[in-house]
Chains A and B, each alone.
Chain A
Amino acid sequence: MRKISGATFAGIFQLALTFPSQGGEPVRVKITNLAFLPAEITVQAGETVEWVNEDFIDHTATETSEEWDVPIPAEKSAELKLTRAGTFSYYCRIHPGMKGTVHVIAK
Chain B
Amino acid sequence: MMRNSMIGMVAGLVLSTAIAIAADKPSDPQIAHIAYTAGDLDIKAAKLALEKSKNETVRAFANDMVRDHQAVNDKALTLVKKLGVTPVDNETSKALIAQAEKKQAELASLSGSAFEKAYVDNEVAYHKMVNDALRTTLIPSSSNAELKSLLETGLKIFEGHLHHAEMLAHTHH
Contact = CB atoms under 8 A, between A and B. Distances in A.
Interface of A: 33-34, 56-58, 74, 92-98
B160 A56 contact: no
Contact of A96 (B67, B71, B75, B164): B164
Given A34-B157, A57-B157, A95 B164 contact: yes
A66 to B, nearest CB: 13
Contacts, number: 38
20 contacts: A57-B68, A57-B71, A58-B64, A58-B67, A58-B68, A74-B71, A92-B160, A93-B64, A93-B164, A94-B68, A94-B160, A94-B161, A95-B157, A95-B160, A95-B161, A95-B164, A96-B160, A96-B163, A96-B167, A97-B163
B154 to A, nearest CB: 10
B118 interface: no
Interface residues of B, number: 16
Most buried by A among B67, B160, B167: B160
Contacts of B68: 57-58, 94
A34 B160 contact: yes
A19 to B, nearest CB: 36
B5 interface: no
Given A34-B156, A34-B160, A57-B157, 8 more contacts: A34-B157, A57-B67, A57-B68, A57-B72, A93-B64, A94-B161, A95-B164, A96-B164
B171 to A, nearest CB: 13
A97 B155 CA distance: 13
B81 to A, nearest CB: 16
